[in-house]
Amino acid sequence: MTDSATAQAPGRRERLVAGARSLIHEQGVHRTTIADVAERSDVPAGNVYYYFKTKDELVGAVIESYLADIRAALDRLGRHRTPQARLKALVQMWVDQRDDVAENGCPLGSLCSELDKDDGSGLAIDAAEMLRIEVDWAEEQFRSMGRRDARELALTLLGGIQGAALMTNTFREPEILPRQARQLDRWIDSLE
């Protein structure tokens, strides 16, 4: 528990990134305006430009925040003793987000897909890193299992997760993710 007298509220920059992140997940990059972000973040609209000169800079900061969160989450998965347990825990991370995924889609996959259609900014390459580090991490786990086809297995796993997220969102059925996770868990077990 934190002492409320010593706990600090997030700064304006952090609030802007958090506000942009949630709005981009809910409505996409193109529909999200600087004014929307300022309002969501409780920051005067004119102050946004002090922290971010352009919307692309703000989107880049959102990507960086996702990357930091992904790296931290993957580090936490290291507490599981076996590569199989770590891979299953990765799958479970999506299951834990099933309601949000059903409503808004996968925040990573959606952002990558949207930015890829607008590749003039260079942000698509930055966004692709969000999924690339997960694939690389999964490849490392499969390699630890002695699998020579570790890269292909990692791509299959992340493809399965992203596909399940897409179907969960498309049909607005949160229970698709846990059902597909059970399939992926059985598949992971079959590779031992």
Tell me the C-alpha to C-alpha distance, in Å, between residue 169 and each of 59, 64, 86, 158: 23, 24, 25, 16
**Alpha carbons 1 and 175: distance in angstroms, whole number:** 34
Residue 121: the pLDDT is 74
Note the pLDDT of residue 4: 46
- Which band of pLDDT confidence, cut at 50, 70 and 90, is reported for residue 150? very high
Task: Give yes or no for a contact between 111 and 58, defined as CB atoms under 8 angstroms apart.
Answer: no
Distance CA 57, CA 140 (A): 32
Instruction: Tell me the backbone φ, ψ of residue 56, rounded to 5 degrees.
Output: -60, -40
- Mean pLDDT, the chain, rounded, equals 94
For 103-144, what is each residue's pLDDT tens digit?
A: 999 999 999 999 998 766 789 999 999 999 999 999 999 999
Share of the chain above pLDDT 90, in %: 91
Domains of the chain: 63-190 (1.10.357.10)
How many residues are there in the chain? 192
Mean pLDDT of 163-175: 98
CA distance readout (Å), 72 to 61, 75, 169: 17, 5, 25
Whether 136 and 74 have beta carbons less than 8 Å apart is answered as no
**Does residue 32 surpass a pLDDT of 60?**
yes
Find where tokens 């997960």 sit: 134
Residue 56 has pLDDT above 90, yes or no: yes
**What is the CB neighbour count within 10 angstroms for residue 145?**
15
DSSP letter assigned to residue 1: -
pLDDT tens-digit readout, 98-109: 999 999 999 999
> Do the beta carbons of residue 110 and residue 25 sit within 8 Å?
yes
Longest dimension (CA), the chain: 56
